[in-house]
């Protein structure tokens, strides 16, 4: 597609349930990122995939969070046993390469997660 595509755009789930958020990056982009944005806050880095390299998971807040990227393209962020503090917008982004100055990162419109 023309841009980074995320689904679902909105998700309401009950506390304790698992959720999966999907990201389809811009075609040809080798780098893919997940960020989290709580209401009125800045963006918090979660995880970063670059090509076939091991992902940088340094931003994942707990072991309830995991992500995978299949075939170097689509990525799924999974949150197990959701808690109310997980409520946020989850933004996926991609870039042509994973390094290099001027490597612009393009964002999707986000998945709004509400845990009730």
Site for another protein, rule CB under 8 A: 31, 33, 35, 41-43, 45, 48, 50, 56, 89, 91, 93, 95, 97-99, 101-110, 112
> Which of 87, 85, 75 is closest to 34 using CA atoms?
75
Q: Closer CB to another protein, residue 77 or residue 89?
A: 89
Q: Closer CB to another protein, residue 41 or residue 78?
A: 41
Q: How far is the CB of 14 from another protein (least distance, A)?
A: 23
Alpha carbon of 12 to those of 8, 36, 84, 98, 116: distances in Å? 10, 16, 11, 32, 7
Q: How far is the CB of 7 from another protein (least distance, A)?
A: 14
Distance between CA 31 and CA 98 in Å, rounded? 5
Q: Closer CB to another protein, residue 13 or residue 55?
A: 55
Q: How far is the CB of 57 from another protein (least distance, A)?
A: 12
DSSP state, residue 53: S
Strand order in the sheet with 5-7: 5-7, 19-24, 75-79, 65-69
Q: Kindly report the number of other CB atoms within 10 A of residue 88's CB atom.
A: 19
Q: Closer CB to another protein, residue 13 or residue 37?
A: 37
Q: How far is the CB of 19 from another protein (least distance, A)?
A: 18
């Amino acid at each position: 597609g023309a841009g980074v595509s995320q689904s679902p755009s909105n998700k309401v789930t009950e506390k304790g349930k698992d959720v999966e958020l999907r990201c389809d990056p811009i075609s040809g982009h080798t780098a893919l990122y997940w960020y989290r944005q709580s209401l009125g806050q800045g963006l918090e880095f979660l995880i970063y995939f670059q090509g076939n390299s091991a992902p940088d998971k340094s931003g994942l807040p707990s072991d309830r969070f995991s992500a995978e990227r299949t075939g170097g393209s689509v990525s799924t962020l999974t949150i197990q046993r959701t808690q109310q503090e997980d409520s946020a917008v989850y933004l996926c982004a991609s870039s042509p390469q994973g390094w290099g100055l001027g490597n612009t990162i393009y964002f999707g419109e986000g998945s709004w997660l509400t845990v009730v």
